[in-house]
Structure 1
Amino acid sequence: MKKTITVIDTFGFLFRSYFALPPLRSKEGFPTGLLTGFINFIANIGKDFQTDYIVFALDAKGNTFRNELYDNYKAQRPDVPEDLLKQLPIAISWIEQMGFKTAIRTGFEADDIVASIAHDAKQKGLEVRIVSHDKDLYQLIEDDTIYLFDPTKRVVINEAKCLEKYGVHPSQFTDYQSLLGDSADNIPGVKGIGAKTAEALIQQFGTLENIYANLENIEKKRWKTLLEESREMAFLSKQLVTLSRDCHVIDDLDNFILPAENPILKISDILIKYDMSKILDRVNKNGMSFKTQIPKEVQKQENMEFILLDNENSLSLVINTIPRDAIVSFDTETTDIDVRNAKIVGFSFAYEENKAYYVPIAHSYLGVAAQISNEAARQAIIQLNRHKLVLQNFKYDYEIIKNNFEIELKLYADTMILSWLLDTNEKVGLDYQINKYFNHKMIAFKDVVKKGEDFSNVDILNACDYAAEDALMTLKLFNKQLELFKEKNSEELLQLAFDLEFDFIYVLADMENNGIKIDVNLLKELKETNYKYIQELTTKIYETSGVEFNINSPKQLGVVLFETLALPTAKKTKTGYSTDEAVLNGLFDAHSVIPLLLNYREAYKLQSTYIEPLLELGLKNEDNRIHTSFLHTGTATGRLSSKNPNLQNIPVKSEAGSQIRSAFIPKDGYTLVGIDYSQIELRLLAHFSKDEALVDAFNNDLDIHYQTAVKIFGEDEAKEKRSIAKSINFGLLYGMGSKKLGDTLGISSKEAKIYIESYFKAFKSVKDYLKSIEESAHVNGYIKTLLNRKRLFNFESANAMLKAAYLREAVNTMFQGSAADLIKLSMVKIHKKYKNNDNMRMLLQIHDELIFEVKEDIADEIIIDLKEIMENIYELNVPLKVSIAKGKSWQKLK
C-alpha cells in the first residue's frame, strides 16, 4: 500500500479557519477563533484522514520571482483583519513547538512549495494529499495520486471534481487561469473573457499556445479581438499562475514523519493561557487520532550542570577561581550570523568536566530579569582571555568580541579546524561531532529561537541550557580530539594546527574585515546595459523560435527545442528534456536560436549572480566595500572557498568575467596588487618526483610548457604545439586520461594516448611518482600533502567507479593541497608582518593568487618585500616564482 504525505497550504488554511469560525476570545479579550480552528484540525489528524508524513508549507516574506515578471502582482490585496494578524504568528509558532515541520523558501510562495513537494513525493512513489481549497492548486491534481482535501467540508477534490466545477482538466488549469486572470492576485488574464468563454476555448483548443496558434479558426469575432489585444498579458498570466517545482524540501522524508510525542500536550501551558483548555481535556481523555506518546523530559547527559551567572558577584567569583593553567572553552550568543551586524547577547564558558556557565548580557523581552553589565562582561572576557581558550569556529567569536568589546581573543585551539584535520571529508559542525563521539543529541537552535526572532528574545533560563551546553561540549570534544590524534598516530597533524592552521584564522578574519571596494557606478551602468541586452536577446529568441515562452524554464525550453523546432535529442526523461550547456553546445549548428540561448544564459547569469548581488552589497555601506566570508574548512583539498558573495568562481576567460572584475577597485590613493604563484603545481611535481628534466627546466628558469613541447614534438613543432603541451602538463596533475585529454584538445583518444606516452618517456620519473601516489592512497587509505595534511579515502566500501575517482582525487589533492599549504604559509607570514600597517591590506586569496590594496606611493617597495616572502616561504628542489601585476582594478591585474 502506498504511503501518504499530507501537505498543508498553511496560510490558506488558517485564513479560512478565521473566517469559518465565530469571533472567539479568551477571558483577556484576545481573539482565538483561528487558533481554535487550527488546534481542532491537529486533533483530528488520523480521524479526518490517515497520513505517514506531514509538512506545513509557508510563504516567505518579501517579493517572489513573480514580482520580477509583473510589478503589479498581488498589488491590490485588501487589508487583513487585525484580529487575524494577531493570531497568525502564534499559530505559525505552534507548528514547530508541537513537533511538526515547516517548509519555506525565499523568493517563492507556499503554493510553489506545495507544488514542489507534490512533484518530488510522486517521484518517491507517495500519495499526496494537499490540505487546501485554493483553486490555484487545482493544476497539481493528478488521478488519485495527487488530490486536494477541503478541511472544512472534509471532502476530496480530484480530477472529476475539477472537471465538474470548472469544465477543464487539472492539466489545463493554468491555461484556463491564463485566460480568466485572477482579481485577488491581480493577474490580468485576457480582458473581457469570463469563465464560460475560457472554458469553451480550452475545451476546443486544449492549451493557450494552441488557442493563439488557431486564432483564425475562432468563430466569434469578439473573442478573437479580445485574445489578439491581450496576447502578451495572456502568456504573462500563464507564467504567473504556473507553480514552480524547484523547491526541493523533502529529500530526507524521515524529517516529516508524524511526531511521536502528543503534539497538543507539548503546548498545553500555552493553550491554557488562551483559555483553550477544553481541547486539552479532550486530548488528555481520548488521546490523538494517531498514535503518540506522552512527552518525556529530556535528561541531560551525565548529570551535566549548567549554571546561570546573572549577577556580578557570582560571575567574578567563578572567573577568579579558574585555575591558572586550565583550558577554558568559550562561546558567544548573538543576534545575527553576520558578524558585521551581530550584537552580543551573552557568552558561555567551561573548564570543569561536567559543568558550564552562561553569562547573559543583552536579552530583551517583557519581564526579563537582571543581567550582567557590558563593562562587567568586558572585564570577565579580559580575564578569560588569559587562559588557554578553546572554541568551535573561533573566527566568528573572535570577530564578535572584537566588534562588541574591542578585545582580541587569543586562541589556543579551534575544535572545528581539528575536526577537519582529522577527516576533511566529514561534517565539522559541533552537533554532528558530539553525536558521533558521545552519542548525545544537542539542543537545536531552532528549538530555542522562534521563527522571526533572535537569541535576545530567548528566555534566559532556556538560553543558559543551550549556550552552556555548547561550551561544555566544545571542551569535551577537544579532549576527545587530543586522544584521537594520538590513537591515529597523527601528532604531526595536531602540530600543524598549532603551527599554522590556528594562526591562519586570524588572517581570514582580517581579510573579511578589510573587504574590497566596488565601483557601484560601473555596476549600475553594467546592470542597465546588460538588462537591455537580455531584452534584445529575448526578442530575437522569440522571433527565431517562432514562439514566446519562459526562457529560464528548462521544461518549456525543452518543449520548444525538441518538439516545436524538432531538433535532435536524447530520449525524454520523466523530468523532461535536458537543456544544459553541454546539450546546447552540441546543438550549436543545428539552429540559429542556440547561439542566442547560450548568450542569453551567460547574460542572465551575469545579471542575477554577479551584477545585481554585488551592487546591492556595495550600496550597503558608505565606503562601498563588500565583505566575503572565507571558509577555512570548505574543501577536502585544503583550498579556501568563499561565500556571501563567492568571489572565487568569477569567470576568468569570458568577457562577462572581465566586466565584473573591472568593478573591483582600490580606495583613493591606493592601487591593487596581484601576486600569483607561477606554475606552482608543476613546480611541486618537479619537487616530489625529482624528475631530472623537470627539475633542470625550472632551475634554469626555462618555459616549462615549451620544454615539454620540445620533448614530445621536437624543436620544429614545439612553438606551434606549446598549448597542447600545457594541457598535458596540467591535465596529468588532475588524473586526466587519454579520453578526457582527447576531448579537451579535440583529438581522438588514440592520438591523446600517444601524447601521454611520449610525455612519460620524456619525463621518466613522473609516471612512477604519480603511480606511487595512487598506490599509497590505496594501501594507507589517505594521502599527505607537503605539510603532512591528510585526506582520507574509504576504498574498502567503494565500487570500481568510485575507486577510480578516489585515485584521481588523491593525485589532485597532492598538488592542489600542497599548493594550498604554501600559499597559507605565505599569508600567515605576510599578515604577521603587516597586520598593523595602514599602507597595505591583504584583500583576497583566489587559489594561487593573492590580491592586496597597497598605498600607491610606496607600492613598489612593498611589492619587493611581498615577492621576497612568497618566493622564500619554503625550500623546494626547484625555486618558487611569483608573477606580479599592479592596476586600478582587479581586471587590470590580468
Structure 2
Amino acid sequence: MQTIILIDTFGFLFRSFYALPPLRNKDGFPTGLLMGFANLLMNVYKDNNIDYVIFALEGENNYRKKIYPQYKATRQELPQDLLLQLPIAIGWIEKMGLKSISMEGYEADDVIASLSQHAVKKGFNVEIWSHDKDLYQLIDENIYLFDPIKKIQIREEQCFLKFGVYPKNFIEYQSLVGDSSDNIPGIEGIGPKTAQKIIQNFHNIDNLYNNLDSLAEVVSKKTAQKIEENKEIVYLSKELVTLKKDLFEDFDFLSARIPEENPLEKIVDDFEYYEFYKLLQRIKKLPITTSIKTIRAKGMGGIGYIPPSESKFSFKSNLLTDKKSLFALLDSIPDDAIVAFDSETDSLDAIHAKMVGFSFCFDGVNGYYVPIAHNYLGVGNQIDFDSAKEAIQKLFTHSLIGHNIKFDLLVVYGNFGILPPKNLQDTMVLGWLVDSASVVGLDAMMERLFSHKMIPFEDVVEKNKTFDSVDIKKASEYASEDAVATYQLYFKLLDVIEEKDLDFLKDLAKDLEYPFVEILFCMERDGIKIDVDWFENLKVDLSAKISQKEGEIFVHANQIFNLNSPKQLSEVLFNNLKLRKVRQIKGGYSTDEQTLEEIYHDHPIVPCIMQYRELFKLKNTYVEPLLKLKTQENRIHTSFLQTGTTTGRLSSKSPNLQNIPVRSDLGRQIRRGFIATSGKKLLSVDYSQIELRLLAHFSKDASLVQGFCEDVDVHLKTAEMIFSKDEAREKRHIAKSINFGLIYGMGAKKLSQTLKIKITEAKEYIERYFASFPTVKHFLEEQKEMILQNGYAQTLLGHRRYFNFDGATDFVKGNYLREGINSIFQGSAADLIKLSMLKIYQKYNNDSIKMLLQVHDELIFEVSEEEVVEVGKDIEAIMNNIYKLNVPLKCGVSIGDNWAELK
C-alpha cells in the first residue's frame, strides 16, 4: 500500500526557526528557518520510499476567529526574522514543482484532515509530518504522525502514553482541558487527569451532559458544578478543536507525485546565496571550497549585519557565600569601573518576583554569583538579606550595565527598596539601536555575535520548579555566564558602532534611551489603579446581559442553538428565517460582522446577535483577564517593551493596555474601570495629528504647512483641494483616509476596502491628492529611493530600520518600502513622545504627579486635584515645544476621575 506524506508546513517552519540558532548569511539575512526547511526537503527527496508529498499551508481569514475572536489571541507577534524567511520557504515549494494546498478560511490542520480522509478512502496510508498535538485526533490504523527529526512514528499507543486517552477521544479531551497555546478556553481547573477520568466513564461530551446526575460519582461536587455551568464553553471548545474533514469533494493524489529529477537542483542558486554549503555538497557531490567563516571575514555585507567576534567567549564562575570575601571584593572594584549586573528570581513577574541571587562582572572574565534565597535540603551558606542589600547598594554606585536591566531594577526595588542608579546602560537597548529588526535576547545576541551558545535555562531549572531549587554551584555557573556575557557584549556593540561609523547611536542611547529605562521603571512600578467593584459588577452585568440576549435571539429564532457556531447561526438566519444571503463561503453563508451589518435592518435578530457578540467579547477579552492581573493594591502593572517594535514605538503586555478600543462603547466601559486614587485626578495630554504634522514637516508641502500653521481643519482643506468646497464636508472622511493612509503606505486597493468603493474610484482619489500635493508625492518617492539605496529608513532623531533588499522578491521589496515609509513617521512620532516623557520626568517625578501610561501619542498622569489644571498646562507647553518642526505641535488636554472621561 502506497503512502501519502502530508506536511504541516508552517508548523515545521516555526519549529525550525525557534529550534535552530539565529543563523545569517554574509549579507546579514537570517537563514535559520531556511536551513531547517532545506534539510526537511533533503530528507523528503533522499527517502526512496516516498512517492507522494503535499505541503499543507494556512489559509487567510481563519473561520475559528469568527466563532471565537479570542482564538490564538494570546500568541505573540512573529519575529521579523521569521517573517522575512517565510515567503522564501513557501516560494521554494513552487520553484521545485512540489504540491502545496491552502483553503481560504481554514488552517493547514483542516487541509490535512480533509486530505487524510480522501487518501484513506482511495487505499493510501497517510503519514503526517508534524509535532502538532491537534492532529492526534486523526490517528487511526491507516493514519499516523511522524517526527522527521527523531525519525519516530506516533500512533494510537503513543497518544495514550502521552495524554492518557486514545485518538478517538482526543477531541473530547481537548474540549475539557482547553489549549493555552491556541487560547481555547476549556473548563478552568479541569486538568488532564480529571479529563481522562471523565472520558473513561462517559466516553464523549454529549453523553457527559446527558448524564450529569451521575457525574458526582466520578468527580468532586465542585468540579461537577463547574462542568455543568460551562456547557456552552465546552461545546465552543469542541467546535474550535474539531478539524474539518470535508473541504474537498475529491482530490487527485497523482498530482502530488515527487518529480523523478532532483527538485532541489532548481533552488541551488538560493542555497549558494544562503551559504548552505553542506547541502550543496550533497546535491552536487562537490567538495566545499569556501567556508562560511572565510566569506564572513571578507566584510559586513548587508547593512545591519554584525560579524561574530574573532575571539572566543569564555568566562570564570566564582561563588560568593562568605560575607567578608564579598565585601573585600566589592571594595576592590575601581570607582570608575563598569559593572555588569544580573538578578536571578523565582518568577518572570518583575513586580512580585523574589530575588534568589545576583551576579556581577567588572573585568570581562570573572562572573561572581551571590546566592541569597536558594531553598533546598542541604543548601549550605548564603549571604543574608541585609548584607545582600548593602552589596547591591555598593554595586549601584558604579556605572551599571544590564541586559533588559529594567527587569533587574524592578526586582531590586521590590526586594530591597533600592532605586535605580543614575548611570545605567542596557545591552538589549544598545543592540536594538544597532539593528531594531534583529532578535535582542541575550542568548540570541551571544550566538550571533560570539558564536557562543549560552547555558539553557531548562538545563539548570527542572520542569515545574523555580530558580531557588537550583544547586548554588550550578546556579553560579549559569548566573556568572550571564554577567560576563553582558559585559563582553557591551564592548562588542561599541566596537560595531565604531566600525560602522554610527557614533551618533552612543549619544542617542546616552541622552534618550538609557534614561528612558528609568522612566519605564517608575511607570511599571507605580501601575494604575482599577475600580475592582466596577469590573466585578460589569462581569455580573455582562453575564446577565449575555443570558438575556441569548434568550431574545432564541425567541426570534424559535429554537435554541449554539450562538458561537457560524454554521448553526448561518442555518438559522438563511435557511430557517430566509434572510438575504450576502456572501457564500465553504459549507454555507458568512455570518461575519460585515455580513451582519449589511442585513442589520432585515430582521430584529440581527442587532441582537451583534449586541451578543460585543458583550461576549467584552467579558472574555477584557474584564475577566484584568481582574486576574490586579494586585492587592488593586493596581494593574503593565510591562512596557522598549525594544518591542522596529519603529521605536512602545508596546505593552500583561496586560496590553495599548489595544483597548478607543471609540467603541466596549472600550469606554473598560476605560471607565481605570481610576485615579483618592484626592487625585487622571490627566491626559495627547498629540494631535502628530504623524500628519510630520508629513508636512518632512515634505515641506506649502499647502499642508500653511494649513497647520493657520490651525485649520487639515482634512477639510484637503477635501476642498481634491474635490470642491461644495463637496468638501461630505467627502472629508475620504480626505482623512488618504491623509493618514499615505503614512502607512496605503495603495488604491486598501483605500477601496476602507471606503467601500471601487478600486478605479480609489485610484482616481489618490491621483487627485497627489495632483493637489505634488511635494508630498515627490517626498514619498524620494524616500523610497533612499531606502532602496541606503538599506534603511531613518527617523527624526536617527533611529534606523534596516532592510536587506538582496534577493528580495518584488512582493517582499514592496512590503519593505511600505514598512520603511511607516517607520519614518511612526518612529519620528515615537521620538517626540520619548523626548517629551524625558523632559516631563526630569521636572515632575514625585508622589503628587506620576506618569502612569503611554498609549502611542497620549500620556496619562495621576496628579493631585489642587495641581492638575496648572500641571496640565505646563505639560502641554513642554510637549508643544519639545522639538522645532516646520509646523507647530499641538496637544489636547483632558482631566477626569477615570480613563473614559479623558476623551
What corresponds to 1:148 in structure 2? Answer: 156
Code of the residue aligned with 1:149 in structure 2: it is E
Corresponding residue SS for 1:328: strand
- The Cα shift of 1:544 comes to 5.0
Matched residues in 2 for 1:646 and 1:237: separation? 24
CA 1:635 to 1:238, structure 2 compared with 1: closer, same or farther past 3 Å? closer
- The Cα shift of 1:372 comes to 1.0
2:776 aligned with 1:766, yes or no?
yes
Q: How does 1:434-833 map to 2 (within 5 A)?
A: 434-543=446-555, 548-552=560-564, 570=584, 572=586, 581=593, 595-618=607-630, 620-621=631-632, 623-833=633-843
Matched residues in 2 for 1:123 and 1:635: separation? 38
CA 1:800 to 1:702, structure 2 compared with 1: closer, same or farther past 3 Å? same
Q: What whole-Å deviation, never above 9, does each CA across 1:167-203 have from its counterpart, x for those lacking one?
A: xxxxxxxxxx999972999974435999xxxxxxxxx
- The Cα shift of 1:352 comes to 2.3
CA 1:405 to 1:233, structure 2 compared with 1: closer, same or farther past 3 Å? closer
CA 1:369 to 1:577, structure 2 compared with 1: closer, same or farther past 3 Å? farther
2:897 to 868, 877, 888: 888
Matched residues in 1 for 2:350 and 2:341: separation? 17
What corresponds to 1:873 in structure 2? Answer: 882
Conserved 8 A contact 2:159-2:165: no
2:210 to 190, 193, 212: 190
What corresponds to 1:287 in structure 2? Answer: none
CA 1:767 to 1:151, structure 2 compared with 1: closer, same or farther past 3 Å? closer
Matched residues in 1 for 2:746 and 2:372: separation? 56
- The Cα shift of 1:553 comes to 5.1
Matched residues in 1 for 2:329 and 2:792: separation? 45
Q: How does 1:260-409 map to 2 (within 5 A)?
A: 304-409=315-420
CA 1:386 to 1:769, structure 2 compared with 1: closer, same or farther past 3 Å? same
1:858 to 854, 863, 867: 867
Conserved 8 A contact 1:188-1:233: no
CA 1:551 to 1:434, structure 2 compared with 1: closer, same or farther past 3 Å? farther
- The Cα shift of 1:468 comes to 0.7
Matched residues in 1 for 2:868 and 2:823: separation? 35
What corresponds to 2:852 in structure 1? Answer: 843
Code of the residue aligned with 1:491 in structure 2: it is D
- The Cα shift of 1:471 comes to 0.7
- Which of the pair has more CA radius of gyration? 1
Conserved 8 A contact 1:122-1:128: no
Q: What whole-Å deviation, never above 9, does each CA across 1:363-421 have from its counterpart, x for those lacking one?
A: 11111110112222222222222222110001111111122222223243201111211
Conserved 8 A contact 1:331-1:348: yes
Matched residues in 2 for 1:526 and 1:234: separation? 19
- When the two structures are superposed, what TM-score results if normalisation uses the length of structure 1? 0.68
RMSD of equivalent CA atoms: 4.0
Matched residues in 1 for 2:863 and 2:165: separation? 68
Corresponding residue SS for 1:633: coil
Conserved 8 A contact 1:189-1:234: no
- The Cα shift of 1:802 comes to 2.1
Answer 1 or 2: higher relative contact order, Cα 8 Å, separation at least 6: 2
Matched residues in 2 for 1:481 and 1:192: separation? 64
Matched residues in 1 for 2:706 and 2:406: separation? 43
- The Cα shift of 1:850 comes to 0.7
- The Cα shift of 1:601 comes to 2.5
- The Cα shift of 1:582 comes to 5.1
Matched residues in 1 for 2:431 and 2:604: separation? 53
Q: How does 1:239-258 map to 2 (within 5 A)?
A: 239=235, 242=238, 245=241
Matched residues in 2 for 1:540 and 1:678: separation? 43
Corresponding residue SS for 2:866: helix
Conserved 8 A contact 1:190-1:234: no
- The Cα shift of 1:826 comes to 0.4
Code of the residue aligned with 1:190 in structure 2: it is N
Matched residues in 2 for 1:429 and 1:654: separation? 37
What corresponds to 1:254 in structure 2? Answer: none
Conserved 8 A contact 1:661-1:890: yes
Conserved 8 A contact 2:236-2:565: no
Matched residues in 2 for 1:484 and 1:764: separation? 40
Between stretches 636-645 and 180-189, larger displacement belongs to: 180-189
Matched residues in 1 for 2:401 and 2:445: separation? 15
Figure out how many residues of one structure are paired with residues of the other and give that number: 672
Between stretches 766-775 and 737-746, larger displacement belongs to: 737-746
Code of the residue aligned with 1:502 in structure 2: it is Y
Between stretches 740-749 and 600-609, larger displacement belongs to: 740-749
Matched residues in 2 for 1:833 and 1:848: separation? 20
- The Cα shift of 1:727 comes to 1.9
Code of the residue aligned with 1:406 in structure 2: it is G
CA 1:772 to 1:246, structure 2 compared with 1: closer, same or farther past 3 Å? farther
Matched residues in 2 for 1:704 and 1:636: separation? 29
Matched residues in 1 for 2:362 and 2:704: separation? 54
Code of the residue aligned with 1:528 in structure 2: it is V
Matched residues in 2 for 1:770 and 1:870: separation? 27
CA 1:150 to 1:647, structure 2 compared with 1: closer, same or farther past 3 Å? closer
Between stretches 434-443 and 391-400, larger displacement belongs to: 434-443
Matched residues in 2 for 1:192 and 1:422: separation? 61
- The Cα shift of 1:701 comes to 2.0
Code of the residue aligned with 2:210 in structure 1: it is V
What corresponds to 1:91 in structure 2? Answer: none
What corresponds to 1:274 in structure 2? Answer: none
Q: What whole-Å deviation, never above 9, does each CA across 1:489-534 have from its counterpart, x for those lacking one?
A: 2221232111101111111111112211212222222212211222
Code of the residue aligned with 1:430 in structure 2: it is L
- The Cα shift of 1:326 comes to 2.5
Unpaired runs of 5+ residues, structure 2, are 8-106, 117-125, 145-154, 171-196, 215-227, 244-310
Conserved 8 A contact 1:178-1:189: no
- The Cα shift of 1:688 comes to 0.7
Code of the residue aligned with 2:241 in structure 1: it is R
Conserved 8 A contact 2:676-2:862: yes
Matched residues in 1 for 2:541 and 2:139: separation? 43
Conserved 8 A contact 2:539-2:624: yes
- The Cα shift of 1:443 comes to 1.2
Q: What whole-Å deviation, never above 9, does each CA across 1:310-366 have from its counterpart, x for those lacking one?
A: 112221232233233322211001111112211111111112233211111111111
Matched residues in 2 for 1:758 and 1:128: separation? 54
Corresponding residue SS for 1:329: strand
CA 1:786 to 1:178, structure 2 compared with 1: closer, same or farther past 3 Å? same
